Amino acid sequence: MDINFEQNLINLRSQAPLVQNITNFVVMNFTANALLAAGASPVMAHAAEEVEDMVAIAGALVVNIGTLSPPWVAGMKLAMKRAAELNKPIVLDPVGAGATPYRNAVLNELLTIASPTIIRGNASEIMALAGTNIRTKGVDSTAVSLDSLEAATALSLKYGSVVSVSGATDLIVSGQKIAYVENGVPLMTRITGMGCSASAIAGAFVAIQSNPFEAAIFAAVMMGVCGEMAFQKTQLPGSFQIAFLDALAEITPQNLQVSSRVK
Amino acid sequence: MDINFEQNLINLRSQAPLVQNITNFVVMNFTANALLAAGASPVMAHAAEEVEDMVAIAGALVVNIGTLSPPWVAGMKLAMKRAAELNKPIVLDPVGAGATPYRNAVLNELLTIASPTIIRGNASEIMALAGTNIRTKGVDSTAVSLDSLEAATALSLKYGSVVSVSGATDLIVSGQKIAYVENGVPLMTRITGMGCSASAIAGAFVAIQSNPFEAAIFAAVMMGVCGEMAFQKTQLPGSFQIAFLDALAEITPQNLQVSSRVK
Amino acid sequence: MDINFEQNLINLRSQAPLVQNITNFVVMNFTANALLAAGASPVMAHAAEEVEDMVAIAGALVVNIGTLSPPWVAGMKLAMKRAAELNKPIVLDPVGAGATPYRNAVLNELLTIASPTIIRGNASEIMALAGTNIRTKGVDSTAVSLDSLEAATALSLKYGSVVSVSGATDLIVSGQKIAYVENGVPLMTRITGMGCSASAIAGAFVAIQSNPFEAAIFAAVMMGVCGEMAFQKTQLPGSFQIAFLDALAEITPQNLQVSSRVK
């Protein structure tokens, strides 16, 4: 696949897009630090009283339902509606889709308000969102990404979204187009917020370029290569989390281009 | 004391129990990472709309009142009620018990809904919960764990709970049975969320074995030994927090057995 | 400027003041760990049901509007009112002032309830708060600290507050008195929560001494010198965050005195 990773990363760092996040309590700090390390400017606001105004000054909106509750859902809906009106890209992370009826109902509501530019989740979540019969286990995937190809394609066609499925091989689907990203290391599943940060990084890239398929691929490659860089420093999860943030800042456009494994 | 630490840790890692946490904002990331590092699978959900469903798929429920407010208390109550109905183990962490009348009132309410399988706190919290006249200082203990033996025993008898008191020596009480765990280092009190993580780890162990007294001892030993391992790498709190997470993943069943100091 | 940094740090560590924080979700863990590392005792409580009681046992109140919503604003108001009644020092961190009308309205409300002892923000926030016409970009500053001298002075005179503006040079203003702190490194702007922690550390110092101008200077110097110490260990943001927490614990009173650069 012919993607100019170098130029995208240079642009991200020079433009430092403001990414508005309505995300979960568990990952907020890590996600904000990941965006800062990569070169973006994060803002986290969720109140119905201000999300529309924050969306208006942001380059992209990231919505993550990891620790949802009604006041937050109200903020998500207003923010998505406003983003759609302003043609701002939206990334939706359906954390724990399938785990509870409430999550499923909220996701259905959100998807009637606006079609996400990118939907990013693990295989269980994507399959649950597409209505596939799948047993989920909380927020961790019980399926491998390639199993979700049919579900991802169906979702992509239904909502006109790019669907990005994280796993040993990341699967990125845009209608009939498919890309496979083979970067990353298994240890990434042992640190909370890696998937959420992948969604946020996708938000950063989709804020600076008009092709969401490329933005999603780019984010998957950036996450995966930085995971590989961190893994060369440490194989333990606490220090890996830190080394991963370091890698997001340390990676050069050339590193990224050379290390990308996309088919 | 004759506890098979090795087998318990092997079981934890092979079974990777889902632990449902309703916990405080300060420690969510650290707690989730601690559970993942130890080998469990964390989920954090608090909304009244979904906690019962999440409890139903989890192996244990951990309730921590560190940053409580009415909507969260509503979620805690529903979750504890459902856990009791389904015979799922409950760990209660009474963070800041005694610091405000609201905390005391909420704890009393929660304890009328279900008897926790394990109550884990510091000495001030356990003494406050038992009605001992104790001045607390926010969320840090003003008493040493051994001072709380009478309070811990009273609580254990009243609720049929195992009571685990963290301190220089951890005290674990189940009715008339008492265990003393002498693992750990003082630096652990200088990192936020260590106690909260001890409660979560207790949740992981009580999810995979039927003896809550052993599960509480096991969690205290696991925390303490990992603290000792981390302290060998660093004596400063930022890097200690990271080294501690690394230790939770790195520790072998043999390490744990050999290093345990339980009386 | 003749400030006894050594004695202040010795006092902080020996008195370990309880600092009550109503702060944002993104930085809670980092802020709590920063306070613990520095030698203070943090508590985080926000519910209207208990904030007044928590303020009553605390040495200072820190209010940070980073992820505000109506229930939290209710807690902030009660806490500030109670702190004023009890003559407890208040630090206000107007995160994202100017970014949305809601933030501006809330800040105005808070400032009618009590005059903060210290207001600490970046230049954009301070200028927005003073009514200067400034375009903000989410929560990151678009202006340099020295540009905000007029705004800081106006705010200081209006509310009788010490105003501390973080930037390449920190500006601390108390009426007509001005101090410039030249400690710190640019990498500090790439870690989320550095400014929020500066406010919390200011809360710790103002809890133990009666001169808020000195307390604000002291906090700025402590943050800056610890940033410099961390930067000697690493130039990457993930590990810098950790090294910074280490530095807060490791710094000696002598280090601080010798490294301070205040004019």
pLDDT digits (tens, 9 = 90+) for C206-250: 999 889 999 999 999 999 999 999 999 999 999 999 999 999 999
Average pLDDT over residues C13-21: 98
Determine the residue of chain C that is closest to B31 in CA distance: C29
> Which of B43, B49, B246 lies closest to A236 in CB terms?
B246
pLDDT bucket at A4, cuts 50 / 70 / 90: confident
Quote the pLDDT of residue B75. Answer: 98
Average pLDDT over residues B166-190: 96
Binding residues of A for ATP are 120, 166
Quote the pLDDT of residue C258. Answer: 94
Count of CB pairs separated by less than 8 Å, A with B = 100
**Could you tell me which chains touch chain B, where touching means 3 or more CB pairs under 8 A?**
A, C
* Distance, CA of A190 to CA of B245 (rounded, Å): 11
- CA-based nearest distance B3→chain A, Å: 27
Binding residues of A are 44, 120, 166, 193
- CA-based nearest distance B69→chain A, Å: 13
Is the C-alpha dihedral spanning B229, B234, B236, B239 positive or negative?
A: negative
Average pLDDT over residues A1-13: 88
Q: Is B115 annotated as a binding residue?
A: no
pLDDT bucket at A146, cuts 50 / 70 / 90: confident
Quote the pLDDT of residue A134. Answer: 66
pLDDT bucket at B146, cuts 50 / 70 / 90: confident
- CA-based nearest distance C236→chain A, Å: 5
Average pLDDT over residues A114-118: 98
Quote the pLDDT of residue A132. Answer: 85
Beta-strand runs (E) in chain C? 18-22, 41-44, 60-64, 90-93, 118-122, 162-166, 170-174, 177-181
Q: Look at residues B61, B35, B263 and name the one whose alpha carbon lies nearest to residue B170.
A: B263
- DSSP-based three-state secondary structure for B148: helix
Strand arrangement, sheet containing B118-122: B41-44, B18-22, B60-64, B90-93, B118-122, B162-166, B170-174, B177-181
The two three-digit tokens of residue C63, written as one number: 């209010």
Condensed to tens digits (0 to 9), the pLDDT of residues B86-131 reads: 999 999 999 999 999 999 999 999 999 999 999 999 999 999 999 9
- The label of the residue with tokens 């006249």 reads B133
Interface mutation vs chain B, best among A139, A234, A246, most B CBs within 10 Å: A139
Quote the pLDDT of residue A137. Answer: 65
Please determine, for the modelled complex, whether the ipTM score is greater than 0.90: yes
* Domains defined for chain A, CATH in brackets: 5-259 (3.40.1190.20)
C164 pLDDT higher than 80:
yes
- CA-based nearest distance C25→chain A, Å: 7
Whether the Cβ atoms of residue C27 and residue B76 lie closer than 8 Å to each other: no
Is the C-alpha dihedral spanning A204, A207, A209, A210 positive or negative?
A: positive
* Distance, CA of B107 to CA of B103 (rounded, Å): 6
Top pLDDT among B258 and A4 is at B258
- How many Cα neighbours within 13 Å face the side chain of A25? 25
Given an 8 Å threshold on Cβ–Cβ distance, is A70 in contact with B58? no
Q: Is B120 annotated as a binding residue?
A: yes
- CA-based nearest distance B252→chain A, Å: 13
Quote the pLDDT of residue A145. Answer: 77
* Distance, CA of A255 to CA of A240 (rounded, Å): 19
Top pLDDT among B46 and C134 is at B46
> Which of C66, C99, C242 lies closest to A54 in CB terms?
C99
The two three-digit tokens of residue B99, written as one number: 């610091």
Whether the Cβ atoms of residue C222 and residue C200 lie closer than 8 Å to each other: no
Determine the residue of chain C that is closest to B68 in CA distance: C47
Q: Is B166 annotated as a binding residue?
A: yes
Average pLDDT over residues A34-53: 98
Q: Is C229 annotated as a binding residue?
A: no
Given an 8 Å threshold on Cβ–Cβ distance, is C249 in contact with B99? no
Given an 8 Å threshold on Cβ–Cβ distance, is B37 in contact with A190? yes
